[in-house]
Every structure is written in structure tokens, then in C-alpha cells.
Amino acid sequence: MFLPSIPPQRPPSGQESHHGSRYLHQDAKITLEHDGTYHKGYLNYSPETGFEFIVRHNLRSKKVDFKVPLPNFSRTWTTMLAEETLLFGHTTVSSYLRPGSYNNAPSANHVSAKNLINPCLPSLTKALHPSNPDRHVWLESYKEEKGGLERLDVYERISKKQYLHLKRTGRIGKALPSMCILVIKPDKDGNPVRAKSRIVVLGNFEDRYYTKSQRYAPVLKYSSLRLLCSNAVHDKRILQQGDCKNAFCHARLPDDELTVVRPPVGDPEYNNDTYWLLNKTLYGLRRSPHHWYNMFTAALRDMGLQSSLHDPCLFSGVVKPNTSPQTSAPLTSASATVSKLAASSQLKLRPSRLRPLSMLAFMSMILYSTPPTLHKSNCLWMN
């Protein structure tokens, strides 16, 4: 018996992924995210209570563990599917892919782009103009980016008088301009899902000269990536991928590289003679990738891992048992491959049994990219 509010007919060929009505019948198996955790249960409908999500041991069991009302489910189930709060069948969801569920790890706050009216604008000034109907969305997106920098203690505000004093003493050069890049990120179907802002320094205005070796930061070789994936498939191991948000903003800026930045044009502080004295590296600086690479690899070596002679971004070894990050997550996990990074970036990983680490790649493949791309903010490891 199909539920009365959902059409029972089979969807047209090729559209099953978008029209899942044939999967939503009485006592259908579904997985629902509730209170930050995915639960396996059954869909129930009655004229008195409407749609409900019921959790019980099995379909024949009369004991109900708990119920979750699903108001307006006949109109919202497609949105729930798109947001992955509703999944067909009894699906096991990776805790690492869902860090905000039951492993107590912080999840990133993203500003939704689903209600945007206009396409992405070329500048922050135009995006925050009062006449822009999407102003509130881009304002929240910019606050998310700027707030992330403040929480990481990337900069401290100084006045124009303080800036001129530092410049006269020769400790800093001319203040570098910055800008805010606005991007609308799509989902796997090409629909807008996230309004993202990124504050970057215009590093081409830096007056310091660096050699290639002072700016160099290696990336993972494709041969190493193929080796890691093929080895995992052969040994039936599990590959996990992690990302560090605002990766280039974690490394401390050396004392001899003091830098002052002007806020982006369009920032409320731009016209208030406010400057940013950087404590850490920022996207756009010429040496940001170099500092991030040194910080990350030093943390891995402190944990007992060694880089490959053929690829400096491929690490292997066994994590030291006494390695303990300064975070509330206990070090009892093969995911401790990034424990030192977890201490500095406030990542919390799912605890599990400590096992030898076969290989860890400093960069990882973004699976939805075509062709695959490599990013310094990602790591890929095999338990």
C-alpha cells in the first residue's frame, strides 16, 4: 500500500534518483538524521497522526523506541533528500563524512545559496549594496569567512597611526590590498548549494623577494595517489579523506615577515582607517603554501611518521602511542594520523582502536572533480 499523499506510479526511466516515490510506502525502510545522528527506521502514515518516522528493532517488533513527526512530508521529502537528511533504505553513514553527528566533531557552517535570486556578483561592494536582493545572503557568507579568520587569530586590528609607526621603524612595508572572492558552489547535480566568500591578499604587491625554494610547496604525485588507492583495494582497506578549513590560515607568520593588510573594499571597516596586522599566513601571500606544508609535515614527523624518499607528501609508519593532541578527542584512533593538526585546527576525530598506519598522503583526490584535482588542505589515509 502506497502512502496516499505520494503518487504510487513508477517514475519515468532515468529519474529514479530524483523521484523516489516508489521507495516511500507504508513501513518503507528509511534513514533519517535526527538530533545530529542518523537513525535507521520505518516510514509510517495514518490519517490521525500523518507521517511519522518510527524506530524499532525490526518491522515485526511491536515495541517502538521513539517516533519523529514528519509534518508536510509529502511536500518536503524531496528537499530532505537533497539535503541528505533523508536516505532511502537502511544506510550506514560514515561518521567522518558527517562529522557533526555522533563523533562530537565540529561541522563547518555553510551559508545556503538555494534562495539566491541573482547570479554571483563580481565584487563584495556590489554584493553588499542595499539594492541587491541577495545582500543578506552574501553578508552572512562574508561574516562566516571573516569570523573564521578571527577565531583562528589570523590578524589583529591596528589603527592607521599604529601602521604608520611600524612602517617608519622599518618593521613592515607598504600595506597590501586584499579582496573578497565570491563563489556559488553547486551540488552534484549542478544546483546552487553554498554561497562562499574567501578573503585573499593580493600577494603580487609584496615588495619582498623570495627564491623559488623559499616559496616551494610540493604536491602529491599522481603515481602515489594511484598506489594508495590500488593498495587499499587490494588489501580491502578503508580510505578516509579529511579537509582542514582555512588551511593556509593555521601556520604562524615568522617575525621577519610581518605583514599589514587593508580590509577588502566593501568591508565596513575599510573606510574607518583600520588595518590588519597578520599573526598567521593568509591566502594570497607568496609563502603561505610553504608555511602550511612545513607546519603539517613537522606535526606528522613528531607523531613518528616518515615521508617517502620518492614523494615528500606520502607518509607511512605507526603513530606513537604516547602522542596526545591537546583536544577533547582521545588519541585512540587510526585517525590520529592528523592528531597534531587536530590540536591546532580544533578538529575532533572519531575514536576507535589504534592500529598501524599503512600510508598517509598529504594531499587527496577530490572525487567529484573531473579530472581529479589535488589540494593542500586535504589529506587521504588508509587504516
Selected residue with higher pLDDT from 366 and 191 = 191
332-341 pLDDT, tens digit per residue, is: 222 333 443 4
pLDDT reported for residue 150: 93
33 pLDDT higher than 90 = no
For residue 2, count other CB atoms closer than 10 A to its CB.
15
Nearest to 266 by CA among 160, 151, 121, 115: 121
SS3 of the chain: CECCCCCCCCCCCCCCCCCCHHHCECCCEEEEEECCEEEEEEEEEECCCEEEEEEECCCCCCCEEEEEECCCHHHHHHHHHHCCCEEECCCCCCCCCCCCCCCCCCCCCCCECCCCCCCCCCCHHHHCCCCCCCHHHHHHHHHHHHHHHHHCCCEEEEEHHHHHHHHHCCCCCCCECEEEEEEEEECCCCCEEEEEEEEEECHHHCCCCCCHHHHCCCCCCHHHHHHHHHHHHHHCCCEEEEECCCHHHCCECCHHHCCEECCCCCCCCHHHCEEEEECECCCCCCCHHHHHHHHHHHHHHHCCCEECCCCCCEEEECCCCCCCCCCCCCCCCHHHHHHHHHHHHCCCCCCCCCCCEEEEECCEECCCCCCCCEECCEEEEEC
Least confident of 153-157, 166-170, 358-362: 358-362
pLDDT reported for residue 323: 59
248-264 pLDDT, tens digit per residue, is: 899 999 988 999 999 99
Quote the CA–CA distance of 359 and 308 in Å, as a whole number. Answer: 10
> For the chain, what is the radius of gyration of the CA atoms?
25
95 pLDDT higher than 60 = no
Average pLDDT of span 216-243: 85
pLDDT reported for residue 271: 82
Quote the CA–CA distance of 352 and 237 in Å, as a whole number. Answer: 15
Quote the CA–CA distance of 140 and 247 in Å, as a whole number. Answer: 21
pLDDT reported for residue 322: 65
Selected residue with higher pLDDT from 320 and 130 = 130
What's the grid cell of residue 30?
528509511
Counting residues of the chain whose pLDDT is more than 90, the rounded percentage is: 32
pLDDT reported for residue 277: 95
What's the grid cell of residue 331?
588519541
Quote the CA–CA distance of 127 and 184 in Å, as a whole number. Answer: 12
pLDDT reported for residue 153: 93
List, edge to edge, every strand of the sheet that includes 239-243.
Answer: 239-243, 378-382, 357-361, 314-317, 306-307
193 pLDDT higher than 50 = yes
Least confident of 54-63, 307-316, 352-361: 352-361
pLDDT reported for residue 92: 66
264-290 pLDDT, tens digit per residue, is: 999 988 888 899 999 999 999 999 999
pTM for the complete prediction?
0.62
Selected residue with higher pLDDT from 120 and 369 = 120
pLDDT reported for residue 4: 45
Quote the CA–CA distance of 193 and 180 in Å, as a whole number. Answer: 19
Least confident of 6-15, 110-119, 230-239, 310-319: 6-15
User: For the range 363-371, what are the long-range contacts, defined as Cβ-Cβ under 8 Å and sequence gap of 24 or more?
Assistant: 363/219, 363/220, 363/225, 363/313, 364/220, 364/225, 364/241, 364/242, 365/225, 365/229, 367/241, 368/188
